[in-house]
Amino acid sequence: MGEHCTTDSPLPSDAGTPYGEIIKLGNVDADYYSKEGGFLVVMPDLFDGDPAPTAGATKTDEITGHESVIEQLKTKAAEGIKLLMIDLWLARHTPEKTYPIILSVLEAAKEEFADAASQVFCVGYCFGGKYVLKLASTAEITAGAVAHGTAVTLEDIKAVVKPVSFVCVEGDALFPDDIREDGRKYLQDNNLEHEMKVYGSVPHGFAVMGSYDDDLIQQAQKEANAQMLDWLISHET
């Protein structure tokens, strides 16, 4: 999983007095689909009360030339520990454990909001992307959208039968280019409705709102979320 799949939002560069409303970062994305698209949004706890580890290690590309070799080694060691923690965490959150949670939430939502919604759409960022594809291989949803999915396989894509929009990152080690392009070819060759846009010069996790200060990344973020929202709206009946 990428840095912004598992860590808290970066601290502001201004060290002044903090202000504003305290929110959960994930809710920013949920509110977007509610406010901009008018969707009734349900967010399942995919992790069953066991959130991804946040070891707080500094990213390699943030190491400055003024740091000593010892400081850089410490940073590398911290990153190694963090990756190990993430691997252990992923081992606790396999598809066999996670997918039943999603299905149970989906069933409860259908029962609870039967009078308010006749269609079900699904959006997944990072870890959640794989499960959008699993749902899109069934009759459970009308359409779905995936933002920089993690651990997505070609078999996941080949199983899709529902319309899916893909937000992808060029050179993403967590959703490799070869799997993406093989998946695109399969969907095209089999006339399966989809759209796939590849964003360059952005990191994995860029579409998660509130995570980046860089203007270019924020612009790509707006385009990516608008892409997914427009896709869902276009499939409403």
Cα–Cα distance, 132 to 145 (Å, whole number): 7
Asked whether residue 20 carries a pLDDT value surpassing 50, the answer given is no
Domain annotation for the chain: domains and CATH numbers: 25-46+95-234 (3.40.50.1820), 51-92 (no CATH)
Give yes or no for a contact between 53 and 85, defined as CB atoms under 8 angstroms apart: yes
pLDDT value for 87: 78
The reported pLDDT for the residue numbered 19 is 36
- Band the pLDDT of 16: cuts 50, 70, 90: very low
pLDDT of residue 212: 87
Q: What is the pLDDT of residues 35-47, one digit of tens each?
A: 999 999 999 888 8
Q: What are phi and psi of 19, to 5 degrees?
A: -150, 170
pLDDT of residue 89: 80
pLDDT digits (tens, 9 = 90+) for 56-115: 433 334 434 455 666 655 555 555 666 677 778 888 889 999 999 999 999 999 999 988
Residue 71: its pLDDT value, please?
Answer: 62
**By the 8 A CB rule, do 180 and 204 touch?**
no
Tokens standing for residue 233: 């709206």
Q: Between 89 and 18, where is the model more confident?
A: 89
CA within 13 Å, CB half, 132: 28
CA distance 19 to 25: 16
Q: What confidence score (pLDDT) does residue 22 get?
A: 31
Q: Per residue in 134-176, pLDDT tens?
A: 999 999 999 999 999 988 999 999 999 999 999 999 999 889 9
3 state DSSP class of 123 = strand
Q: Is the pLDDT of residue 1 over 80?
A: no
Helix-strand-coil split of the chain, %, nearest 5: 45, 10, 45
CA dihedral angle for residue 71, residue 72, residue 77, residue 83, rounded to 10 degrees: 130
Residue pLDDT, tens place only, 183-199: 999 999 999 999 999 99
How would residue 13 be classed by pLDDT, with cut points 50, 70 and 90? very low
The Cα 8–Cα 20 span in angstroms is 17
With a CB cutoff of 8 Å and minimum separation 6, the contacts of 55 are: 78, 81, 82, 85
Q: Is the pLDDT of residue 124 over 50?
A: yes
Q: Which residue is it, tokens 């252990």?
A: 88
Is a pLDDT exceeding 60 seen at residue 129? yes
Q: In what order do the strands lie in the sheet with 143-147?
A: 121-125, 143-147, 164-169, 194-199
The reported pLDDT for the residue numbered 10 is 42
Please give the residue that has the higher pLDDT: either 31 or 179: 179
Cα 192–Cα 197–Cα 198 angle in degrees, nearest 5? 130
The answer to whether 45 touches 56, Cβ cutoff 8 Å, is no
- Mark residue 38 as left, alpha or beta (left: phi above 0; alpha: psi -120 to 50; beta: remaining): left
The residue with greater pLDDT, 33 or 77, is: 33
